[in-house]
A and B are shown apart, each in its own frame.
Chain A
Amino acid sequence: MSDTANPANPATPEWTVQGPVAQRHLLVVLPHPDDESFSSGGTIALHRDAGVPVTYLCGTYGDMGRNMGVPFFAHRETLRDVREQELREACRILDCDLRFLGLRDKTVEFEDPDALADAVADVIRELDADLVIGFYPGHGVHPDHDALGEAVRRAVPRIDAARRPRHWAVAVGHREALEAELGVADVRVDVRAWGDRKRAALEAHATQTKAMFARMDRRDAADEAQRLRMEEAKRTERFYTLSGEP
């Protein structure tokens, strides 16, 4: 399962994961279609190939996104359904179940945080998840990321201790800057075997990724740093273990 035993042990700050960590159910809770593939596509596929159930609980339909495809094929009123279909295809590629919280894109932070936490906790209990992935509150860059990440952070301690899931948080940004602020991510999932599937899932989100991949595949000098980050993202997914305490 891993080359170090105890992920919560500060003596082993870097835990390289090479097999499934969830045994009962991996629940991924993020606000937008594509967040799951960017942050956790390899980890999801790794768990599915090991026979572990995985559910993506997606907060919104990404209906306020600005990327409409290249050349654009969506507009503000069609984007919601386009992105829902893109996500259904990505989840088919990753082989995970999909649910929605039904929130509006960009407005998650204005919802009642306790009600959001209750909604997340209900799903954790229903699925009996033993591993939950969310954004790292305060390190999500997008306000929806921070708000739903905070809802997950509040939800986990509401679960009875005996069934309480492990909580992995995704921090967004360039790794050097994140490590300067947060330290090294303690969990490193080796997703090399699932890198191509992760890319295929990302490509299913065509409105969001087609222009990005086109730039990267041209290997323009201006996009070289981003291309290298994507190559790294196909090898390793990094998470910070949060305490599970209120």
Chain B
Amino acid sequence: MEPIDPAAVTDALAALANRDVYLHLETTTGTYTALGPEKTPPVVAFVRNAVVRYERGAVKGEGPYRVGLKMEGGWVYGDGLTHATTDDAGRLLMAGYDDEGRLRIALQVGTTPFREGT
């Protein structure tokens, strides 16, 4: 993955607009926070391979970035995104990492499903 280039990500989002796309959206604090200095329960959520259709996708901020996907009846939103790449299947993968390489958020869209099973 490369540091987000907002113009390039905006173009990639536009290329996937107005069609059914598979969505992976995730945020995580890690599951072991209760053992660490945080002493707080973990917060983890992910949606994988939900099918959505958005009419407009935009990248905002100075980095880390926010991405919003405007749908006919709702929104997909993510903040804290730092890196992005397009994989071999043309799927746009965006993620936010901390300075120890830990993923904090992932927002991915593509016209083919993300891998499941073995």
Whether both chains belong to one complex is answered with yes
Contact of A75 with B103 at beta-carbon distance under 8 Å, contacts A106-B44, A141-B32 already known? yes
Q: Which of A65-73, A149-157, A159-167 lies at the binding interface?
A: A65-73
Contact of A66 with B104 at beta-carbon distance under 8 Å, contacts A75-B85, A75-B93 already known? yes
Q: Which of B46, B97, B108 has the most CB of A within 10 A?
A: B97
A contacts with B, residue count (CB < 8 A): 27
Report chain B residues within 8 Å CB of A211. Answer: 100-102
A183 contacts chain B at the CB level, 8 A cutoff: no
Closest to B97 in A: A72
Q: Quick check: A75 and B95 within 8 Å, CB to CB?
A: yes
Cα A72 to Cα B98 with chains together (Å): 9
**Chain A min CB distance to B49 (Å):** 11
Which residues of B (77-118) have their CB < 8 Å from a CB of A?
83, 85, 87, 91, 93, 95, 97, 100-104, 106, 108, 114-118
Cα A42 to Cα B44 with chains together (Å): 32
Q: Which of B13-21, B22-30, B59-67, B68-76 lies at the binding interface?
A: B22-30
Report chain B residues within 8 Å CB of A66. Answer: 28, 30, 102-104
A77 contacts chain B at the CB level, 8 A cutoff: yes
B51 contacts chain A at the CB level, 8 A cutoff: no
- How many chain B residues sit at the interface, stated as a range, is 20 to 34
Mask for B1-41, Cβ within 8 A of A = 1, else 0? 10000000000000000000000101010111011010000
Report chain A residues within 8 Å CB of B26. Answer: 64, 76
Closest to A177 in B: B35
Among candidates B28, B35, B83, B115, residue contacting A141 with C-beta atoms closer than 8 Å:
B35
**Chain B min CB distance to A211 (Å):** 5
Mask for A207-241, Cβ within 8 A of B = 1, else 0? 10001000000000010000000000000000000
Cα A77 to Cα B16 with chains together (Å): 19
Cα A73 to Cα B97 with chains together (Å): 11
Q: Quick check: B31 and A76 within 8 Å, CB to CB?
A: no
Mask for A61-99, Cβ within 8 A of B = 1, else 0? 100101111111101110010000000000000000000
Q: Quick check: B114 and A68 within 8 Å, CB to CB?
A: no
Contact of A64 with B102 at beta-carbon distance under 8 Å, contacts A76-B24, A76-B26 already known? no
Which residues of A (168-206) have their CB < 8 Å from a CB of B?
172-174
Report chain A residues within 8 Å CB of B30. Answer: 66
Report chain A residues within 8 Å CB of B31. Answer: 106, 141-143
Report chain B residues within 8 Å CB of A75. Answer: 1, 83, 85, 93, 95, 103, 106
Q: Quick check: A71 and B116 within 8 Å, CB to CB?
A: no
Report chain A residues within 8 Å CB of B114. Answer: 77
A102 contacts chain B at the CB level, 8 A cutoff: yes
Cα A106 to Cα B44 with chains together (Å): 10
Q: Quick check: A67 and B35 within 8 Å, CB to CB?
A: no
Q: Quick check: B102 and A67 within 8 Å, CB to CB?
A: yes
Q: Which of A61, A77, A106, A211 has the most CB of B within 10 A?
A: A77
Report chain A residues within 8 Å CB of B118. Answer: 61, 100, 102
A139 contacts chain B at the CB level, 8 A cutoff: no
Closest to A144 in B: B31
Given contacts A67-B103, A75-B103, A211-B102, 6 further A-B contacts (CB under 8 A): A69-B101, A71-B101, A75-B85, A77-B87, A141-B32, A142-B31
